[in-house]
Chains A and B, each alone.
Chain A
Amino acid sequence: MTATENITTEQGPSSRRRRRTGAGSRAGGSAPWVLIAPFLALFILTFILPIIVAIGSSFTRVTRSGLFGEEGVTTQFAWFQNYAQALADGNFIASIGRMLLFGVVQVPVMIVLCTILALLLESASARWPGFFRAAYFLPYGIPGVIATILWSFLYVPGLSPVIDVAAAVGLQLDFLGPSTVLWSIANIVTWTYTGYNMMIIIAQLKSIPTELYEAAKVDGASSWRVARSIQLPLIRPALVLTTVFSIIGTLQLFAEPQVLQTVAPAIDSQYTPNLSAYTTAFAYNDYNVAAAQSVLIALVAFLLSFLFLRFTNRRSS
């Protein structure tokens, strides 16, 4: 209490003085800018400017004459030609559709799973919650590339003990087939991020005042009732947050399919939207179309997150 008082008494006169004298107000006006300048410079250079350049690039087109452009290269403003080309590419559209399917299945599974884990670990009867929290969170500490390599040893026929055991009981498993590989990737993603999302939910659970639990106990509520009527409604913001992050993360899937490509012939160069933009930019050297693809991915991610937030807001009101 005394500390706050000190601050207010100190701030009072100084702000009054600043208002009074012109010189002081000028110094106060530029000081914040000087202080955030390092951040602002980096933010503009590495964030805002690249976005502007990417959008600019997505409206540019290069035409070449001759066999390789040796007879002249022209760069012109192309309106929406690159976007038209990106959208006319069936494989790119298919990759977005594939990620939507992936998201519709994987995101709910992961959110339900991490909520259950969080509730179990935060329940009164949980044993060694600290140990299990760390254990569930551990996969998040493993880089996606390494995780995929690890999992691929369980997926590749001839190397995988899982396939061998299944074969011994007469079950033919194919984790890398055209119709199954998407779910093999979903499994890796779920394994990696469930613990991470669980942590966010646990943080929210811990912020629930104990009075509510005590009141519930006094009223004779069962643990199930506590979870349903107190915990779930109160962790809603965390659930919304993790879901939005997961939707965005789904559209940005890259490392897992890229690494799994070496063992799964079914994964093509445009398997996910990001992989598609990467291939277009760095394997085909078509930065302009890649920029258009990237803008489209960002728009879809924005749209999906927006729709989800609209949906949850409407339901709560």
Chain B
Amino acid sequence: MRQFTRRQALSLGLGAGAAAVLAGCATPGTTSVNSAPTIGAASAGEKIRITYWAWLKDLQKVADVWNAQNPNVQVDVVWIPGGNSGGYQKLYSALAAGGGPDIAQVEMRTVPEFLLVNGLVDLSRYGADQYADLYDETLWNQVSFTGGVHAIPQDSGPMGFYYQPEILDSVGAQPPATWDEWADIARELRAAGGVYLESFPVSDASVFTAYATQAGARWLTAEDDGWVIDMTDEATLEVARFFDAAIDEDLVDTASTPYSPGWFAAAADGGIGACTSASWGDALIAGISGGEGKWRVAPMQRWSNLPDSFGSSFLGGSTAAVLANSNHPKEALDFAVWMTTSPEAIDALIEYSGIGWSPAKDEIGSVREGAGSDFFGGQAYNTEVFEPATLEQNTEWTWWPITQQSFNILSDGFRRKASGVSLVDAVATAENQIVQAFRDKGLTIRKADS
């Protein structure tokens, strides 16, 4: 009799355990923290700890500056791999498991993806709106959705034109003011000695997207009745046509992507003359062996025949986002705002973490004022090129919930360029696939009225 009950109890326990596990395995991210009551600030004198998962190097040193001034709110930094190389996977898993850090580094373009899994705290409920004036308008717009503020901009990447004057001089060229001039230089360089002016990454659609953004595209818009997509506007098609022609004419190198090992090798032995890239590219370009003193920076070339285009664009950029399972969202917000706007924190971020462009209005960090490094011949490119560039960006651009998937769809299309599918066709096909991907997620989307 006793044995029977024991077995029964055991099977009951196993059954209940399995049921609990199965219930816990409901598709994650289906409840929103932003409909729950806000969490109050810690009471005065209470000591709390905040965790920050980020892939910036030595970020703890920056947090230590804060920790010294705020004994009651201590910030611990945990390093994670960068973005899609494993960091997001880690964050998504942690969120799905009901845990995760208080703050996470999330790229600007990925903020809506985290919204889709209900992973972010709406910071406007904790008073983030009062800080809006401190930030670059373009960037603040990219973290604001559905009347809320879902992350604090942390760095960005205004774009410029990195070039080797020696190579441009070899065909008597100056840095191009327009993309048409850019194509002329590329053509002359190819004819002169087979040198490519730049490489065009077919496998990384973010660069094409940055060019389209500069041209004035606005691919997705959040309207009251759902998303509106417009990827086949004149601006995007013009950019696609331009690079179709450039690839057909063999003006750009499509075999390597910027900052890949093959690209570094080509750049080091003069096979690549320039790179249109973001402000953070300076640290990477400084890694080209034997490139010391050979590189300069010029403002990005413009789309001369598109009236609504912009002077520059942006590539990359990340935010400090407060995650849904945080117990101290108010303090996390305070830290994020301090870290991204106070001069001491910006300087520390540049010095220790080599962070990208500061999102704070009128505060680029004292290290970046004046003469640049010897690698760029002491050129004061930060104030000459990138600071003005931040004022000439597409402020209307917004990211959307399946940005990464859209980039993959676009890249998959661009890869077919080798087998004869034009970029123009790839963009049009991608638009349809992205619409389908939105609908597969159960989201509402429609094509813009043309």
Contact = CB atoms under 8 A, between A and B. Distances in A.
Interface of A: 26, 49, 52-53, 56-57, 60-70, 73-75, 85, 91, 152-153, 156-159, 174, 176-178, 261-263, 265-270, 279, 282-289
Interface stretch (B56-64, B169-177, B405-413): B405-413
Given A152-B261, A156-B265, A265 B203 contact: yes
Contact of A283 (B25, B88, B226, B266): B88
B260 interface: yes
Nearest to B262: A156
Contact of B113 (A153, A177, A285): A285
B345 interface: no
A268 B413 CA distance: 10
B212 to A, nearest CB: 19
A286 B29 CA distance: 11
Contact of A284 (B25, B254, B405): B405
B201 A265 contact: yes
Interface residues of B, number: 59
A189 B380 CA distance: 49
Contacts of A285: 29, 92, 113, 116-117
A75 B203 contact: no
A174 B404 CA distance: 29
B404 A283 contact: yes
Contacts, number: 143
Interface string B109-123: 000110111100000
B28 interface: yes
A67 B443 contact: yes
A284 B419 contact: no
Nearest to A262: B260
B411 A268 contact: yes
Interface centre among A60, A73, A261, A279, by most chain B C-beta atoms within 10 angstroms, is A73
8 contacts: A53-B22, A53-B25, A67-B227, A69-B32, A156-B262, A262-B260, A284-B404, A285-B116
4 interchain residue pairs of minimum CB distance: A158-B265, A63-B442, A265-B203, A282-B89
B146 A265 contact: no
Contact of A67 (B26, B145, B408): B145
Given A158-B266, A158-B271, A285-B117, A269 B257 contact: no
Contacts of A69: 30, 32, 116, 118, 442-443
B84 interface: yes
A70 B408 contact: no
Interface centre among A61, A158, A270, A279, by most chain B C-beta atoms within 10 angstroms, is A158
B192 interface: no
B22 A265 contact: no
Given A73-B30, A158-B271, A283-B404, A68 B415 contact: no
B440 interface: yes
A69 B88 CA distance: 20
B9 to A, nearest CB: 14
B84 A283 contact: yes
B441 A49 contact: no
Contact of B254 (A265, A268, A279): A265
Contact of A73 (B31, B84, B226): B31
Contacts of B112: 68
B230 to A, nearest CB: 16
B442 A64 contact: yes
Given A70-B32, A159-B265, A288-B27, A265 B405 contact: no
Nearest to A152: B261
Interface in B1-46: 3, 18, 21-22, 25-32, 34
A56 B22 contact: yes
B316 interface: no
Contacts of B116: 64, 68-69, 285
Contacts of B132: none
B50 interface: no
Contacts of B256: 157, 263, 265
A64 B415 CA distance: 32
Contacts of B72: none
B367 interface: no
B115 A68 contact: yes
Given A61-B442, A178-B415, A267-B203, 6 more contacts: A53-B22, A62-B27, A67-B443, A68-B112, A157-B255, A266-B203
Given A69-B116, A70-B34, A176-B255, A263 B227 contact: no
